[in-house]
Every structure is written in structure tokens, then in C-alpha cells.
Amino acid sequence: MTLPSFTSGDLAARFGLELRGDAGLPIEGVATLARAEPGQLAFLANSRYRAQLADSRASLVVLRAEDATDAAGTVLVAKDPYTAFAKMAALFEHKPARAPGIHPSAVVDPRARIAPGAHVGPFVVVGARSTLGEGSVLGPGCIVGDDCVVGDGCELVARVTLVTRVRLGQRVLVHPGAVIGADGFGLAMDSGHWIKVPQLGGVVIGDDCEIGANTTIDRGALDDTVLEEDVRLDNQIQIGHNVRIGAHTAMAGCSAAAGSARIGRYCLIGGAAGVLGHLEICDRVVVTAMSLVTSSITEPGEYSSGTPLTDNRTWRKNAARFKQLDALARRVLAADKET
């Protein structure tokens, strides 16, 4: 584990950024402006923190042109410093080597196909007719059921379960504890008892998607549950059967979409927000945290529900009045008529 090292000039050239200052500074890591040490790269994406520039010990800072004048040291100028920083930081990420090959403890069905360059870790199970693409990684404890496809360059970090009929595109990253392709929640009442509606569909996940830790994505009842390309799901998200999520949409932690909901492209769903089933959200919709979408949204924009936080005593008084809101409104409207 040797540290990578680049000069400030290397970074400027590699990412096409304007360098102002010393091109020969060695850079061996990244940090926040506040904590950076000499030899590290930091970033300033929000001008509000501009005052931190003066005190930072970072050797190199990536920032916008308009903030560059405040910097005493060497800087890289970028239109979008956060994106530029993200790309540069990737150079300094230490990833454990995952050598090609199948760990002797893994249980792989003879009908499965594992690409020669793929890595299958300890205690992994791969079922019948499933395939694992070139350069892909099944980390320790992953379980891939029957009839699954894991495309090239995917990584299932550890303890991921693909239950059955799950097809991942290329470069899909899945974090520990995620369960993809479990039975959708389909029930029918029959003489006072529930009977289970068989879940015969699958799950299709597009290229470059990311699925967070302990997130669950159920397989479809008849058709598939679908995530288009570049969908980003945080931790503990629940996606019901037959949901479809458009490309480039991101959902924050603990949000959920119920069965057969359709979410558009480039949407942002806030933390713990919910989307009811069988409705449609168009492209470029933002739903704020803990809001509940109860009907289709046809116009791009930002949407919210809920009430603001107050001290509990105030809240109790106002919440009690919420129960009378319709009656109050009637009085107001009646009084208006009288005058």
C-alpha cells in the first residue's frame, strides 16, 4: 500500500484545469480545507466558506475563478470545483485488490458462468444459469440466486443478495445488505385468509446504477421492476414491485416507492420521502425530505408536504387546531360573506 503521488501540474494537465501558482508541488492526498495538511489537495465549492482559505494548510485548492483571488497559495480553477475535486479524489482512493478467481469456499452452480477476470469471494453462492461479467466482484457473503446476470465491472461489496431473475447492467455498485429481487408484496384475500400472488417478474438495473446498504428492490409480479441507467439509491430505500425509475434520478436514504409507481428522469427524492403506488412523476421533479407523494406529478419543480418543527408546547396547540381547520375555514368564509 504505497501512496499515490502527483504534482500540482500533473493534476492540472490531467483534468484540464487552469493552474495558478507552483506546478511542482507534490500532492499525496485530499482533505477538507479546515483539516488539510501540506501535501494535500482541498476544495472550495461554496463561497460562503471563503474565509477558510486564509487558514488552510492545503498545498493546493481547487475553486472557482471568483474565489481564486482570496487564495494566497497555489490553486486550480474549475467551473465546478466539487465535480473536479471528486474526479481528483478518486486518484487517491485505496481500493483493496480483488484478484480474479473463485475463492475455494464459494459454492457455484455448475450451470453458472463466471468470467475469467471476475472475483468471487469467500462464502459466496451463485445459482443455476447465472452469469458474472468480466472484472466484476462478488464480495464476501454475496448470494446470487438462479437466472441472474451481473454485467461487466459490477461490484457487490459484501453480503448482497440477488434473489432471482435480477439483471444488472455494467458498472453497477451494490452496498452490503441490499436485497434485490425478493418477492413483491402481492396479496389477495380469499375467504378471510391472505393468499400470495406469485411474483413471476424480475428486476432490471441499468448501467452505472448505485444501490445503498440495506436497500430492497422487489422483483415484479408479472413484468419487471426497472431502474434505468445511472440511478443512485442511498441506504435503506424500499422499491416495490413493478416500479420504474428514470435515468439519472437520485433517491436519498429511507425513501420509498410503492408498487407500480413510475418516477421520471433527473428526479431528486429526499430522505424518507414516499411515493404511493400506481402513480407517475414526470422528469426533473424534486421531492423534499419526508414528503408523501399521493398523486401524479406532471410539472417539473419542487414539491413538499408536512409541517414545520416547533417546540412541543406550541406544536400541541397548533396541531389541536388542525383538527378544527375545516370548521375554522367555514367560519372565516361565512364571516366574509356577511360583511
Are 39 and 49 a contacting pair, CB within 8 Å? no
The residue within the footprint of a second copy, chosen from 135, 169, 177, 206 (CB under 8 A), is 177
In the bound state with a second copy, the residue whose beta carbon lies nearer, of 88 and 118, is 88
The residue from 3, 54, 99, 325 that contacts a second copy (CB under 8 A) is 325
Rounded to a whole number of angstroms, the minimum distance from the CB of residue 118 to a second copy is 18
Is 193 a known active-site residue? no
- For 10-30, b/e burial (b = at least 16 CB within 10 A) is bbbeebebebbbeeebebebb
Question: Residue 25 or 248: which CB sits closer to a second copy?
Answer: 248
Which residue lies nearer to a second copy by CB, 23 or 317? 317
* Binding test (CB under 8 A) with a second copy, winner from 59, 136, 161, 225: 161
* Residue range at the interface with a second copy (CB under 8 A); choices 3-11, 47-55, 58-66, 326-334: 326-334
Rg (CA), the chain: 26
**Helix, strand or coil for residue 24?**
coil
Tell me which residues in 268-297 interact with a second copy (CB under 8 A).
271-272, 274, 276, 286-295
DSSP 3-state of 59? coil
Kindly state the smallest distance separating residue 219's Cβ from a second copy, in Å: 11
What the block records as the C-alpha cell of 123 is 462464502
55-to-26, 61, 73 alpha-carbon distances in Å: 20, 12, 11
Distances (CA, A) of 75 to 5, 42, 80, 158, 268: 17, 10, 14, 39, 32
Cell triple for 229: 441507467
Of all helices (H) and strands (E), which one includes residue 256?
strand 256-257
Shortest Cβ 40–a second copy spacing (Å)? 10
CB of 171 to a second copy, least distance (A): 10
55 interacts with a second copy by CB under 8 A: no
- For residues 184-213, which are near a second copy according to CB under 8 A? 185-190, 192-198, 200, 208, 210, 212-213
Map the footprint of a second copy across residues 126-145, applying CB under 8 A.
127-128, 139-141, 143, 145
Rule CB under 8 A: say whether 5 interacts with a second copy.
no
Q: How far apart are CA 186 and CA 220, in angstroms?
A: 10
> What does the alpha-carbon distance between residue 241 and residue 236 come to, in Å, rounded to a whole number?
16
> For a second copy, how many residues bind (rule: CB under 8 A)?
129
DSSP 125-175: EE-TT-EE-TT-EE-TT-EE-TT-EE-TT-EE-SS-EE-SSEEE-SS-EE-
Residue 157 makes contact with a second copy by CB under 8 A: yes
Per CB under 8 A, 56 contacts a second copy: no
| Contacts of a second copy in 58-97 (CB under 8 A) | 80, 82-83, 85-87, 89-90, 92-93, 96
Closest distance of CB 84 from a second copy, Å: 9
Which of the residues 119, 175, 241, 248 is marked catalytic?
241
Q: Which residues pair with 168 in a beta bridge?
A: 150, 205
Instruction: State how far the Cα of 244 lies from the Cα of 9, in Å rounded to an integer.
Output: 45
109 neighbors 130 (Cβ within 8 angstroms): yes
Which residues inside 232-251 make contact with a second copy, applying CB under 8 A? 232, 234-236, 238, 240, 248, 250
Is residue 32 a contact residue for a second copy (CB under 8 A)? yes
What is the enclosing helix (H) or strand (E) of 338? Answer: helix 325-338
**Contact between 260 and a second copy (CB under 8 A)?**
no
- In the set 3, 16, 309, 337, which binds a second copy (CB under 8 A)? 309
Minimum distance from residue 127 beta carbon to a second copy (Å):
7
Residues designated catalytic = 241
